[in-house]
Structure 1
Amino acid sequence: MNLRRMVVVAAFPVFLASCQDDASDDPAEPAVPQPSGSPVGDPVLPDFAPAPAVDVHTKNHGAGWQIEFSSVLVNVGEGEFRLVVDRPTVDDDWVVTQVITHSGGGIDEVPTDAEIEWGGDGHDHWHVRRVVTYRLVAIDGSGTPAPDGLTDAKVGFCIYDFGRELDDLGPDDPVFDRDGCQPEDALTLTMGLSSGWGDTYEWNLPGQSIDVTDLPDGPYRLWAEADESGHFVEATTDNNDTWVDLDLSTTDDGARTAVVAGVGPTPGESPRAD
């Protein structure tokens, strides 16, 4: 993978992430060929596994302090994750369908309740809402994370093959690209994530942050959870979350700092309960 841009700040080591840039000039043309035919054999399913956040650091945003972080969602399943999103006219609601291939050929088209949202983060294309949710929760004296906390404000995800994450899984070349997210007047979108590939977001993209201005010093866990609402079909949900543990503190001059104290499972690892 390659960085699309790098900005030097007082932070932890810089990771990779995806910039969701402008879409293609042809709003009616799907970004990738569509599979077809009646299903034969077993479904070949995708499997979401978010990576623990990296580049975690604090920043004064003028009205207070926030933590910023880079993230990546990986498909560790044998099958690709593919969404086809259609509407009859620009005045109609989107219909979001997950396309699942089968071992003997053919597809299933599975309706979903996933929501599609336009722009909102400076990127002029469509997004799928809340594909991954990031939540910061306090850790109590017994080491137990609280059930609730603060969530990120990310609009959504233009899902595509940004970088190869698992060398022994999936195609060598990307199948889905950013053009699948399409401009505002599009009638069809095609988004997806190939087996073994990841969709990566840098810390300096909109929404890759959580405000910590009013949080007290202490230990916290930054959760990353894929498909929190259960919109999509995948091989298992046992690996849909991971985390980074942080020590949040305040210096004598009022600056907030966050130091990584622990890291959860990475894509391809077996889930564990810490």
Structure 2
Amino acid sequence: QGADAAGPRTGDATGQTDGSRKAPALVPAAERPTGKASVPDVPKPDLRSLPAYGITISDGTENVPGKDYLAFSANVWNAGPAQLVVDGFRSPGKAKMDAYQYFYDAKGKQVGYTPTGTMEWDPRPGHVHWHFTDFASYRLLKADKKEAVRSGKEAFCLANTDAVDYTVKNANWHPFNTDLATACGQENSISVREVLDVGSGDTYTQDLPGQSFDITDVPNGTYYIQVLANPAKRLKETNLDNNSALRKVVLGGKPGKRTVTVPAHDLVNAN
């Protein structure tokens, strides 16, 4: 169902992984970080994308006459060995928040931070909370892997909606922010904290705004849906070479009655 719903997160403010590493609190810091920014030599998150699924032709979330859309679901997850922790802080009169990524030692003590873009308020139905910008990008690539269409959605509210792989190092088997009530704030919030735990992923389903490509003028043929994590490389990770996942699709049909065929992907033989 994705992380997109308004409301507070539930659960305690602290968490513990299945190992000895202590998880940072879910509540944001009292104030924006001070002192010199630094990226210390401590464990960092590893964002990875899963291939798109739930792929279908639709008339879009806004039901625009004469338009054809290719809708899909996507998941970006954290293979660890450290949580992704991002705080946003808003200055008086500012529309956006300044975002910071935090780094922690094995005892859960913050030992560094770095600026990492912004957060913006998304008022659209199904969202209605603060989104961290440049977390992921969706692109429809031609058969030669050149870009054909790019989704306008690159901002996300992070939540651990799905267990992806709890065998990875420092996986948290009991993440707190797992439901649709997320910690992504209210419109008048001055700070928020967004966390993606080790082993968990954040799913956005095809019925949400931004989870589709306008293919009205895209010719029939073979394409790839690319889910790309950390597209601007603003987030600090252990590995930047595994952020992209491709899912092959074949477009057909006529305007107003487009079709999509989704070949099997490895062992996954489903849309």
Q: Find runs of 4+ consecutive structure 1 residues off by over 6 angstroms.
A: none
2:137 counterpart of 1:133: yes
Asked whether the equivalents of residues 153 and 210 of structure 2 are also in contact (C-alpha less than 8 Å), the reply is yes
2:263 counterpart of 1:261: yes
Q: Which residue of 1 aligns with 2:150?
A: 151
Cα 1:264–1:102 shift into 2, 3 Å: farther
For 1:35 and 1:171, how far apart are their aligned partners in 2?
Answer: 21
Counterpart residue identity of residue 166, structure 1:
D
Asked whether the equivalents of residues 137 and 154 of structure 2 are also in contact (C-alpha less than 8 Å), the reply is no
Cα 1:223–1:20 shift into 2, 3 Å: same
Q: CA deviation at 1:226?
A: 0.5
Cα 1:33–1:126 shift into 2, 3 Å: closer
Cα 1:156–1:33 shift into 2, 3 Å: closer
Q: Which residue of 1 aligns with 2:185?
A: 182
1:24 to 8, 23, 39: 8
Q: CA deviation at 1:262?
A: 5.4
Counterpart residue identity of residue 172, structure 2:
P
What residue ranges of structure 1 are gaps of 5+ in the alignment?
1-16, 267-274
Q: Which residue of 2 aligns with 1:64?
A: 67
Q: CA deviation at 1:179?
A: 3.5
For 2:209 and 2:182, how far apart are their aligned partners in 1?
Answer: 20
Q: Deviations over 1:16-61 (max 9, x none)?
A: x314111339xxx99825699xx9x941110000100001111234
Matches within 5 A, 1:32-181: 32-33=26-27, 42-60=41-59, 61=63, 62-89=65-92, 91=94, 93-103=96-106, 105-122=108-125, 123-139=127-143, 144-146=144-146, 148-154=147-153, 156-169=155-168, 170-176=171-177, 178-181=181-184
SS at match of 2:213: strand
TM-score, normalized by length of structure 2?
0.78
Asked whether the equivalents of residues 183 and 193 of structure 2 are also in contact (C-alpha less than 8 Å), the reply is yes
Asked whether the equivalents of residues 97 and 109 of structure 1 are also in contact (C-alpha less than 8 Å), the reply is no
Cα 1:149–1:109 shift into 2, 3 Å: farther
Counterpart residue identity of residue 2, structure 2:
S
Asked whether the equivalents of residues 161 and 202 of structure 2 are also in contact (C-alpha less than 8 Å), the reply is yes
RMSD: 2.9
SS at match of 1:52: strand
Asked whether the equivalents of residues 42 and 102 of structure 1 are also in contact (C-alpha less than 8 Å), the reply is no
Cα 1:181–1:254 shift into 2, 3 Å: closer
Counterpart residue identity of residue 258, structure 1:
V
- Comparing 104-113 with 220-229, greater Cα deviation is found at 104-113
Asked whether the equivalents of residues 53 and 69 of structure 1 are also in contact (C-alpha less than 8 Å), the reply is yes
The structure whose residues are more often strand, as a share, is 2
Counterpart residue identity of residue 265, structure 2:
V
SS at match of 2:183: helix
Q: CA deviation at 1:105?
A: 4.9
What residue ranges of structure 2 are gaps of 5+ in the alignment?
15-24, 31-37
Cα 1:34–1:154 shift into 2, 3 Å: closer
Q: CA deviation at 1:107?
A: 2.1
For 2:156 and 2:67, how far apart are their aligned partners in 1?
Answer: 26
